[in-house]
Amino acid sequence: MEKSFRVSLSSWISYQHINEQNILNAVSIEKDVDGFHPLNIGRLAMRGREPLFVPCTPKGCIELLHRYGINIKGKKAVVIGRSNIVGMPAALLLQREDATISIVHSRTKNPEEFIREADIIISAVGQPNMVRGNWIKPGAVIIDVGINPVEDTKSPRGYRLVGDVCYEEACKVASAITPVPGGVGPMTIAMLLSNTLISAKRIHNFQ
Ligand SMILES: NC(=O)C1=CN([C@@H]2O[C@H](COP(=O)(O)OP(=O)(O)OC[C@H]3O[C@@H](n4cnc5c(N)ncnc54)[C@H](OP(=O)(O)O)[C@@H]3O)[C@@H](O)[C@H]2O)C=CC1
Ligand SMILES: Nc1nc(=O)c2c([nH]1)NC[C@@H]1CN(c3ccc(C(=O)N[C@@H](CCC(=O)O)C(=O)O)cc3)C=[N+]21
């Protein structure tokens, strides 16, 4: 009994250890609606190549900029955060749109120096109210990706959601800012549906 338990325990451990890279490599690139497969990310990074799918949250950020008529070409943009799912692909997309980008991360010294220069700010950090009003260039456009729960005893859930940007301060300085909730979050979901539709149409040779 004990011996067989040991054997099954070791196989259980190898089953439970989900390896992110193995999973991402296993997803068929034609069905990679998250846009996380290394081939898709590689194509996103290369000039003259097109990814089959653009990651949903960064795609939603660019869609918001387009829909609100915000010019990206030639603008200074800062992306705060460099994760594989948001910050890095957001920076690649802005660069593809001919912005000049800076990427700020946890090892950046004096992040506000970079942020103050930017015409467009995309923040994907996960730190409530990190970006203050006096870090923002007057007239800048702010896309706040952060979804951060903060304790709020007055809310029925016991918490409320805030972004990475101090909204009350930033809305006085920015020319446009996305709220949290009701900003990028719902766009992510819409872009996942958009990518799923693109995938289905391609698979069925549908226009
Ligand atoms: N609205 C939406 O649809 C989505 C929202 N989110 C939200 O966006 C936020 C970020 O998500 P995700 O990218 O997955 O998070 P990760 O934790 O994977 O990445 C956070 C990034 O922020 C950087 N960072 C951390 N602290 C600081 C700091 N003090 N100053 C500057 N940079 C810092 C990290 O730097 P380093 O690389 O050096 O560690 C890292 O690159 C979260 O709040 C998450 O919930 C995420 C996905 C979708
Ligand atoms: N591989 C991966 N893919 C993701 O897509 C992913 C992830 N990891 N890690 C965590 C973040 C977070 N995220 C959210 C998406 C939408 C809302 C959303 O729609 N929020 C609503 C509010 C919802 C509420 O009130 O609870 C809003 O902002 O209006 C929130 C959070 C996706 N993420």
Containing structural domain, residue 103: 57-188
The total domain count for the chain is 1
Classified as helix, coil or strand, 179 is coil
Q: Given a cut of 70, is residue 33 above it in pLDDT? A: yes
Do the domain assignments include residue 193? no
Do the domain assignments include residue 160? yes
Residue 17 confidence (pLDDT): 72
Ranges 4-13, 83-92, 176-185: which has the least confidence: 4-13
Those residues with Cβ within 8 angstroms of residue 32's Cβ, 6 or more apart along the chain or in another chain: 40, 52, 53
Mutate to test the pocket of ligand 1, among 59, 83, 159, 161 (most ligand atoms within 8 A of CB): 83
Across 180-206, average pLDDT = 97
Q: How far away, in angstroms, is 107 Cα from ligand 1 center?
A: 13
Kindly state the tokens that stand for 132: 């203050």
Residue 49 confidence (pLDDT): 98
Q: Given a cut of 90, is residue 14 above it in pLDDT? A: no
173 vs 151: CA distance, rounded Å: 27
- Residues 123-146 have pLDDT tens digits of 999 999 999 999 999 999 999 999
Other C-beta atoms closer than 10 Å to the C-beta of 146 total 24
Do the domain assignments include residue 100? yes
Mutate to test the pocket of ligand 2, among 20, 27, 147 (most ligand atoms within 8 A of CB): 147
Q: How far away, in angstroms, is 144 Cα from ligand 2 center?
A: 12
- Residues 48-107 have pLDDT tens digits of 999 999 999 999 999 999 999 999 999 999 999 999 999 999 999 999 999 999 999 999
Do the domain assignments include residue 121? yes
Residue nearest to atom 22 of ligand 2 (CA): 181
Ranges 10-19, 97-106, 160-169: which has the least confidence: 10-19
Q: Given a cut of 90, is residue 7 above it in pLDDT? A: no
Confidence band for 10, pLDDT divided at 50, 70 and 90: low
57 vs 125: CA distance, rounded Å: 13
CATH assignment at residue 165: 3.40.50.720
- Looking at all shown ligands, the one closest to residue 64's CA atom is 1
Do the domain assignments include residue 17? no
Residue 16 confidence (pLDDT): 61
Do the domain assignments include residue 194? no
Kindly state the tokens that stand for 175: 């020319």
| Strand extents, DSSP E, 24-73 | none
Do the domain assignments include residue 101? yes
Q: Given a cut of 50, is residue 47 above it in pLDDT? A: yes
Q: Is 200 in the pocket of ligand 2 (CB under 6 A)?
A: no
Q: How far away, in angstroms, is 145 Cα from ligand 2 center?
A: 9
Give the pairing of strands 159-162 and 148-151.
antiparallel
Residue 3 confidence (pLDDT): 47
- Looking at all shown ligands, the one closest to residue 34's CA atom is 2
Residue nearest to atom 45 of ligand 1 (CA): 147
Residue nearest to atom 19 of ligand 2 (CA): 185
Q: How far away, in angstroms, is 149 Cα from ligand 1 center?
A: 14
Do the domain assignments include residue 178? yes
ipTM score assigned to the predicted complex: 0.97
Confidence band for 5, pLDDT divided at 50, 70 and 90: very low
84 vs 95: CA distance, rounded Å: 16
